[in-house]
């Protein structure tokens, strides 16, 4: 095969988990052009995957305004004459689109609506107990592609590293300091660690270990990050709202370690080779744990209700995250550091 399409998953962490798919495809078909069809929010992270040759953005919000837009994308895909498509997540619309595009080999998890649109159906039995990375790899393995390396990986470009270095210099960091990054956000509140504990941790890392603490995040995180910085009393560097995803990845690569709850940035950090301390509460590390190139320490306490993945977003006390103390994290970090 010379021309392969992969239909991506939709969330940052899941895209990181899918990176071994591209490595395995490139190893199996070294002369193939690998193109990924993806939603806009994950385009930047896919561009950090060295085995992805091209990204086609398909805006899922606009696409459901009418069948005409979907047919238009199918026609555009048809013009590219793909030999095969691997659909990493169950999706009736995208499966139909690739069928309309005339792609002769269509591999993926079948749904109940149009199971006959796939030429190779992947058995989803047991997938809810598998790591997400392995769920995505199962798609290509079912087709016969061998997977030698299951670790997740991303590569940070020189431009992003240089832009980050300039921003750190503007904050008074020369480049020689040992920095630790505290990623304080998360895509839903149930997975987030308490802000006051991040503040106390920042103070201990700075005062007891002499490390410079950096607080990244999106613009929407800025108020929380500033509150944590004030409460810490140690003047951490605030980068929330000041970096794009590629610069954030460069920050993780530059850092000695990243401490974060289960989130997209945690998995980006692990994939670029950072050492990570991962704080898990309602989710399960066997299913969504980091699996990158650096050293990994996972902290999770059994509070009974988190023995399986918990998605009770109205949880009244979030006891699974509260069970993780500042000293737990600090001592785990010291083990990572030794």
Asked if 280 and 289 count as a contact pair (C-beta separation under 8 A), the reply is: yes
Same domain? For 174 and 290 the reply is yes
Q: What number of residues does the chain have?
A: 338
Is 153 part of a structural domain of the chain? no
Task: Report residue 114's pLDDT band, with 50, 70 and 90 as the boundaries.
Answer: confident
For 157-166, what is the mean pLDDT? Answer: 97
Beta strand 120-122 with 179-183 is: unpaired
pLDDT tens-place string over residues 228-276 = 999 999 999 999 999 999 999 999 999 999 999 999 999 999 999 999 9
Is 214 part of a structural domain of the chain? yes
Same domain? For 316 and 182 the reply is yes
Asked if 331 and 311 count as a contact pair (C-beta separation under 8 A), the reply is: no
| pLDDT score for 61 | 64
Is 76 part of a structural domain of the chain? yes
For 71-99, what is the mean pLDDT? Answer: 95
Same domain? For 162 and 299 the reply is yes
Is 148 part of a structural domain of the chain? no
pLDDT tens-place string over residues 174-221 = 878 899 999 998 878 889 999 999 999 999 999 999 999 999 999 999
Q: What is the distance between the alpha carbons of residues 170 and 155, in angstroms, rounded to a whole number?
A: 25
Is 150 part of a structural domain of the chain? no
Is 53 part of a structural domain of the chain? yes
pLDDT tens-place string over residues 22-43 = 999 999 999 999 999 999 999 9
Here the CATH number for the domain that contains residue 93 is 3.40.50.2000
Asked if 17 and 136 count as a contact pair (C-beta separation under 8 A), the reply is: yes
Given a cut of 70, whether residue 64 has pLDDT beyond it is no
Task: Report residue 323's pLDDT band, with 50, 70 and 90 as the boundaries.
Answer: very high
Residues 6+ apart with CB under 8 A from 26: 32, 34, 51
| pLDDT score for 66 | 60
DSSP per-residue letters across 146-182: --S---------HHHHHHHHHHHHHTT--S-S-EEEE
Same domain? For 58 and 164 the reply is no
Query: Cα torsion at 189, 293, 3, 32 (round to 10°)?
Result: 170
Total structural domains within the chain:
2
Which one, of 299, 282, 308, 213, lies nearest residue 251 by Cα? 213
Is 44 part of a structural domain of the chain? yes
Is 295 part of a structural domain of the chain? yes
Which one, of 290, 299, 284, 300, lies nearest residue 334 by Cα? 299
% the chain with pLDDT above 90: 84
For 125-141, what is the mean pLDDT? Answer: 97
Task: Report residue 70's pLDDT band, with 50, 70 and 90 as the boundaries.
Answer: confident
Same domain? For 186 and 124 the reply is no
Domain that holds residue 30: 3-142
Choose one of 142, 170, 198: the last residue of a domain. 142
**pTM for the whole thing?**
0.95
Which two structure tokens, joined as six digits, stand for 290? Answer: 């980091």
- Measured in whole angstroms, the distance separating CA 61 from the mean position of its chain's CA atoms is 21
Q: What is the distance between the alpha carbons of residues 274 and 7, in angstroms, rounded to a whole number?
A: 28
């Amino acid at each position: 095969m010379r021309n392969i399409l992969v239909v991506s998953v939709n969330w940052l962490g899941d895209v990181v988990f899918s990176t071994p798919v591209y490595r395995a495809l490139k190893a199996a078909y070294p002369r193939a052009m690998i193109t990924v069809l993806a939603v806009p929010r994950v385009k930047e992270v896919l561009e950090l995957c060295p085995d992805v040759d091209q990204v086609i953005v398909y805006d899922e919000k606009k696409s459901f305004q009418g069948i005409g837009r979907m047919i238009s994308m199918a026609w555009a895909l048809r013009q590219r004459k793909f030999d095969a498509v691997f659909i990493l997540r169950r999706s009736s619309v995208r499966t139909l689109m690739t069928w309309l595009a005339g792609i002769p080999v269509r591999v993926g998890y079948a749904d109940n609506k149009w199971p006959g649109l796939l030429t190779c159906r992947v058995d989803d039995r047991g997938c809810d107990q598998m790591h997400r990375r392995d769920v995505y790899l199962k798609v290509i393995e079912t087709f016969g592609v061998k997977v030698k390396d299951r670790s997740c990986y991303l590569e940070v470009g020189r431009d992003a590293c240089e832009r980050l270095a300039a921003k750190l210099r503007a904050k008074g960091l020369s480049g020689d300091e040992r920095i630790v990054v505290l990623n304080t956000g998360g895509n839903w509140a149930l997975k987030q660690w308490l802000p006051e504990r991040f503040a106390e941790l920042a103070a201990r890392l700075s005062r007891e270990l002499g490390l410079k603490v950096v607080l990244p995040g999106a613009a929407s995180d800025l108020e929380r990050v500033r509150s944590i910085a004030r409460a810490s009393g140690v003047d951490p560097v605030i980068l929330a709202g000041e970096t794009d995803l590629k610069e954030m990845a460069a920050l993780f690569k530059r850092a000695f370690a990243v401490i974060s709850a289960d989130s997209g940035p945690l998995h980006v950090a692990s994939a670029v080779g950072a050492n990570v301390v991962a704080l898990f509460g309602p989710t399960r590390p066997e299913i969504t744990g980091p699996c990158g190139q650096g050293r990994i320490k996972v902290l999770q306490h059994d509070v009974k209700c988190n023995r399986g993945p918990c998605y009770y977003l109205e949880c009244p006390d979030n006891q699974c995250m509260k069970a993780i103390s500042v000293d737990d994290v600090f001592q785990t970090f010291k083990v990572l550091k030794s």
